[in-house]
Amino acid sequence: MKKITFTVLCALLSLPAAAADVSMAVPGAQTTAGQKVLTFIAKDPPGQRCNGNLQVAAEIANTYRLPIQLLPSSLASGLPAPAVFYGNQLIVAEGKEHNGAASYQIVADVLDLEGVTKQDKSGLLFQDTVRRDFDALKATIRSGGK
């Protein structure tokens, strides 16, 4: 049992490391001060995964202190969409890691490994009443509005 647990742990820890192996030229990947930017690239017009990724961006903004940009694929030619990058580091992308569908945990794992500062106080999305409505919105997006 210990062997299986260790194997699963190693596999989970290697996921963010695998994403770190892919680097692409992302527009606006750093601020003028050299701080990495979290970039969400959406398809034109946005699809279901793009909308879900934008919800992840909202959750990340409620937890971490970092610049976040949302780009339509028309402003990121040559890059996969939907996709999420931290600086030039690929986190998820269509046809690659997680096929473009980000989750809060996937992005948070990368940000934690990078030592990104957290907000002093988490935002409204983590209050029970707001969270319930937010989760209902995400469920509607996943179901295609049904």
Domain count across the chain: 1
Give dist(CA 32, CA 62) in Å, integer.
Answer: 23
Average per-residue pLDDT in the chain? 83
In this prediction, residue 46 carries a pLDDT of 60
- Would you say residue 87 has pLDDT above 60? yes
The Cα 51–Cα 92 span in angstroms is 14
What's the pLDDT score for residue 97?
Answer: 79
| Structural domain that includes position 68 | 2-142
Q: Cα(26)–Cα(90) distance, rounded to whole angstroms? A: 9
Give the pLDDT confidence score for residue 17 in this predicted structure. 42
Say what the alpha-carbon torsion angle 27, 88, 50, 71 is, to the nearest 10 degrees: -10
**Residue 93 structure tokens:** 């992308």
Residue-wise pLDDT tens digits, 5-36: 444 334 444 444 444 456 778 999 999 999 99
What is the four-CA torsion angle of 120, 31, 90, 22, rounded to 10 degrees?
-130
In sequence order, what are the beta bridge partners of 40?
70, 84
Q: Which of 125, 124, 110 is nearest to 66 (CA)?
A: 110
The enclosing domain of 31 has a CATH number of 3.40.30
Q: Residue type at 76? A: A
- Give yes or no for a contact between 89 and 19, defined as CB atoms under 8 angstroms apart: yes
In this prediction the pTM is 0.75
